[in-house]
A and B are shown apart, each in its own frame.
Chain A
Amino acid sequence: QKEVEQDPGPLSVPEGAIVSLNCTYSNSAFQYFMWYRQYSRKGPELLMYTYSSGNKEDGRFTAQVDKSSKYISLFIRDSQPSDSATYLCAMSRSGSARQLTFGSGTQLTVLP
């Protein structure tokens, strides 16, 4: 069983929809949680970063962590065609970049 599970999709939604992307994990020691966005044939870029449980909002993006359920989510409001990308969750115990464990990514397409 993988330490971090992420539904690969693909997920297609109409422009303006609310998108929910999720990851589950098995290691209860994870405390640092990230979402990276990766456009086709490009490297990932950090989108959201949270520590421990709770919510964090940045514009149209909200990251949510539920440590009791070992479940994290990324919500995208008013989705745009430019949000079409693969979204990778990543997490670690210590916050150290060298200890990140990545999910396999969810491919999202927002249709105009």
Chain B
Amino acid sequence: DGGITQSPKYLFRKEGQNVTLSCEQNLNHDAMYWYRQDPGQGLRLIYYSQIVNDFQKGDIAEGYSVSREKKESFPLTVTSAQKNPTAFYLCASSRTSANTGELFFGEGSRLTVL
């Protein structure tokens, strides 16, 4: 079954620690994205990648980092510089970044900072 797999589903972090969220897709999509979802706010784009070894900042990239070493994988690191990291994080992919808006999402990772 093709899709996007995010792990872990739930993650707890102490302040000052970096954490990495995993995102893997087997849809053979070129483009991948990371969004953050907070109550009462729309999805906000953190980073996106159009092709392997290339990625661009989204609207709220501060305190986050990504890599795209393989087409299938787009991990997100939430660093200690992120002031308010508690949120629901969604990874998505599309055939290309110019694709007409259809994003395929994973099931999300909920990060809680203790």
Contacts and interface: CB of A to CB of B under 8 A. Distances in A.
A94 B31 CA distance: 16
Contacts of B104: 45
Q: Nearest 7 CB-CB pairs, A to B?
A: A43-B105, A102-B42, A102-B43, A97-B94, A95-B100, A98-B97, A98-B48
Interface string B72-111: 0000000000000000001010100111111111111000
Nearest to A43: B105
Given A100-B101, A102-B44, 4 more contacts: A41-B108, A43-B105, A44-B90, A97-B102
A97 B103 contact: yes
Nearest to B96: A97
A103 B6 CA distance: 23
Interface of B: 4, 6, 31, 33, 40-45, 48, 50, 56, 58, 90, 92, 94, 97-108
Interface residues of A, number: 27
Interface of A: 2, 4, 6, 8, 32, 34, 41-46, 49, 88, 90, 92, 94-98, 100-105
B97 A96 contact: yes
B4 A88 contact: no
Contacts of A88: 42-43
Given A41-B108, A97-B31, A98-B33, A46 B43 contact: no
Contacts of A41: 107-108
A47 B17 CA distance: 38
A45 B92 CA distance: 10
Contacts of A98: 31, 33, 45, 48, 50, 56, 58, 97
B100 A101 contact: no
A45 B107 CA distance: 10
B101 A32 contact: yes
